[in-house]
Structure 1
Amino acid sequence: MSVKLVTIATFEYVADLQVLKTKLESEGIQVVLKDENVLNSDPMISHAIGGAKLQVFREDAERAIEIYDTIRSYAIGDDGLPIKCPNCGERKSERYYSRKNIFHKLFPFFEKRKYKCLNCKMITKP
């Protein structure tokens, strides 16, 4: 019998991962952490391995994402307000890295700023 796990979030730092893990476990959702110990031993390789992953069982994924959305911090614009999606109007966007080439995979902070709407999935530039 195979266990079906779904990655619902990835984090550059393990400390950020622990906040969501604690919240989900307090709501009764079992959590599996992937690459957490690797980053604890060498945090400098976070970008190389894609960060630490938080996984839940497939049947809990939808509820876990809803809980994550309640505590997630969204991208903030120059005006101090959350970025508004030009397509759907929601203010639920996160910074987006396409990482199309090896340079941007290693150094995503050099990539031009983009945002991905978590509602309609549209990718926009500011």
Structure 2
Amino acid sequence: MNTFVNIARFQYSSEAQIVKGKLQSEGIQVFLVDQVLIDTDPLVSQAVGGIKLNVYTEDEERARAILKEIESYSLDDEGRPVICPKCESALVKVYTHIKDVRSFLAFLFSFLTFALPIHYKYDYHCENCEENFSLNEQEN
């Protein structure tokens, strides 16, 4: 009996499709869960846990190795890796959120007009030490 294992989650289907294509080109069968739901309304992505990328259990190790090869981390505006201010690791990923009135109003406008969000605030998360930080804080 074939069972599945979740090996990654994505906020948008375009990200999931790129990784799915890479894994399929390596002969690994991939199943995306909640893709249609999030394509219908991208604003629910965080509420449902994103698009889940599942593979057969027997392909998990090989799929994770491929993901590790292509995993991308955040770059600053000059193309340099973002460095964690706490542990100086480059294993930093960017996350978007609604934090202030401007972000909330943009979210509300997007929600009411069925448009994609047009204003985000970005925070960074270090996968090495679990530190959350902003580039604005890092520059000050």
> TM-score normalized by structure 1?
0.69
After TM superposition, where is structure 1 displaced by more than 6 Å over at least 4 residues in a row? none
Q: Which runs of 5+ in 1 are unaligned?
A: 97-106
Give the Cα–Cα distance (whole angstroms) in 2 for the partners of residues 57 and 83 of structure 1.
34
Larger radius of gyration: 2
The structural deviation recorded for 1:34 is: 0.3
C-alpha distance after superposition, 1:57-79 (max 9, x if no partner): 22222221221222232112466
1:51-108 CA-partner distances (Å, limit 9, x unpaired): 1111112222222122122223211246642134554x65332236xxxxxxxxxx83
Matched, 1:20 2:19: yes
Tell me if structure 2 keeps the 8 A contact 1:7–1:53. Answer: yes
Of 67-76 and 28-37, the range deviating more from structure 2: 67-76
Change (3 A) 1:56 1:116: farther
Deviations 1:5-28 (A, max 9, x none): 221211111111110000000001
> 2:133 matched to 1:123?
no
Q: 1:43 to 1:114 in 2, by over 3 A?
A: closer
Q: What amino acid sits opposite 2:123 in the alignment?
A: R
Distance in 2 between the 1:8 and 1:35 partners?
A: 14
* C-alpha contact (below 8 Å) 2:92/2:124 kept by paired residues: no
Distance 2:8 2:98 in 1: 19
Match of 1:113 among 123, 128, 132: 123
Extract unaligned runs of 5+ from structure 2: 100-120
3-state secondary structure, aligned to 1:56: strand
Q: How does 1:47-126 map to 2 (within 5 A)?
A: 47-77=46-76, 80-84=79-83, 87=87, 90-95=89-94, 108-110=97-99, 113-117=123-127, 121-124=128-131, 125=133, 126=138
Q: TM-score, normalised by structure 2?
A: 0.63
Identity among equivalent positions (%) equals 37
